[in-house]
Amino acid sequence: MGRYPKQRRIQLKITETNGIMPQSALFKRRAKQYRGEPEKRFTRLTHIEAGCAFTNDTIAPGYVTLESYFVYILAKTAIFFMRALPRSLGLFLTRSMALAAYWLDPRHRHIADVNLKIAFPGLPQSRRSEIARRSFQNTALNLLEISRLPLLNRRNISKLVQYDSDSGLRNFHEAQSREKGILYLTGHFSAWELLPAAHAVYGHPLRFITRPLDNTRLDRYLQRLRECAGNRVIRKKNAARTVLRALKEKGHVGILMDQNTSLEEGIYADFFGLPAATTTALALLALRTDAPILPGYLTPMRGGRYRIKFLRPIEAARTGDRNGDVEQLTARLNRILEQIIREQPETWLWGHKRWKNQPAGNSRDLYRLSGEELDRFLESAGRASTPRADPASEDE
């Protein structure tokens, strides 16, 4: 594309053995090196949580250390504790802990502030801080919501999550009626762990791609919770075959695509006016399968409740230039994510280095620049700190 002339031109391909990535990366991918001895067998389950399904075939062997086991026990205890609390008290504690984390974690507070400067130039420091604080709190709600996933059922789900009357089931049914499966476009909005679970409890189970944690025991435990409502987790590595099979069977697959990625797995695409390394997985799958892309996300409401929103389904356009089609569709999906963030900025995960990778010629690490250096960079990139409309606030 003309915007980034130095961007590497690549042949894009979906492979069954190497997942979803540019073809040139297949010859450059290095095997990860680990320390310790691999776990030879899976640990037998001592209990089943609220009837949650668990399948060993989606879990890779890992490594057990004293530190990882301690983290696993600590996380499991915290999840059990949050589940045992009344929901109102859980909400209060979660938000309070998140607020404390905001003040005690200068690193992620700085990352959030840099991201907000990039996204909303000219926004006052007080407003940026307010958005960042609420972002920390909304992100922390994942702990509460994932702890309570086994408690969800058809009788109580409507008290917690409802479909938006305008942008809800109507768009979902439109995508479903095409009978080619559905590719969900989503990101780290609000309590994102709750979105697929609630949708499944309402009778619409799906598969979604996750990156496994280094802590294998904790990863297995979280997978059981994520699969309680009937969903299935797909591991990011070697995901292509499983995804293609699901779409062939008219299944539904969710992909988070709002985080920084390596150029082995993506390309540079505009995001809030700056190039951001973005995965091409969703675009590749849509172009290969003709499955519609359905953007979906949660919107928080008062009282700790949520609303599910689906935007209009997207069809992949074809021009005969496969690389160009992938780039155009990926850029379009970034614009949709940007639209959602502008609508509800407090709900997005601002503490992630979204613009970590930059093209040659740009600053190699925007997050190490001083405030003045970042302002100069944004001005040179056409993102000067001029007054702009204040992004929307949570209104319910």
- Banded model confidence at residue 6, pLDDT cuts 50, 70, 90: very low
- Provide the pLDDT for residue 36: 41
Tokens of 315: 């069809």
CA terminus-to-terminus distance, the chain: 41
Write the CA distances from 70 to 67, 73, 75, 76, integer angstroms. 5, 5, 9, 10
State the DSSP string of 382-394: T------PPPP--
Sign of CA dihedral 284, 287, 288, 292: positive
Sequence letter at residue 302: R
pLDDT 10s digits, 106-126 = 999 999 999 999 999 989 999
Write the CA distances from 136 to 108, 110, 297, 338, integer angstroms. 9, 12, 17, 19
Between the ranges 20-24, 44-48, 269-273, 382-386, where is the mean pLDDT highest? 269-273
The C-alpha atoms of residue 149 and residue 280 are separated, in whole angstroms, by: 30
Q: Which of 233, 236, 271 is nearest to 355 (CA)?
A: 271
Within 13 A of 137's CA, how many CA atoms are on the CB side? 19
Exposed, middle or buried by CB within 10 Å (0-12, 13-18, 19+), for 145? buried
The answer to whether 294 touches 253, Cβ cutoff 8 Å, is: no
- Provide the pLDDT for residue 231: 97
- Provide the pLDDT for residue 20: 52
pLDDT 10s digits, 353-366 = 999 999 988 877 99
- Banded model confidence at residue 176, pLDDT cuts 50, 70, 90: very high
Residue 103: how many CB atoms within 10 A of its CB?
10
| Alpha-carbon radius of gyration of the chain | 21
pLDDT 10s digits, 287-324 = 999 999 999 999 999 999 999 999 999 999 999 999 99
- Banded model confidence at residue 28, pLDDT cuts 50, 70, 90: very low
Write the CA distances from 266 to 11, 204, 316, integer angstroms. 12, 29, 17
What residues does each domain of the chain span? Answer: 49-55+62-380
Tokens 């709900």 -> residue: 347
- Provide the pLDDT for residue 12: 47
Q: Which of 254, 240, 277, 245 is nearest to 359 (CA)?
A: 277
Is residue 303 within a helix (H) or strand (E), and if so which, with residue range? none
- Provide the pLDDT for residue 293: 98
The C-alpha atoms of residue 60 and residue 217 are separated, in whole angstroms, by: 11
The C-alpha atoms of residue 3 and residue 327 are separated, in whole angstroms, by: 11
The C-alpha atoms of residue 238 and residue 232 are separated, in whole angstroms, by: 15
The C-alpha atoms of residue 151 and residue 353 are separated, in whole angstroms, by: 34
Tokens of 149: 């996933």
Give bridge partners of residue 296 from the DSSP assignment: 310
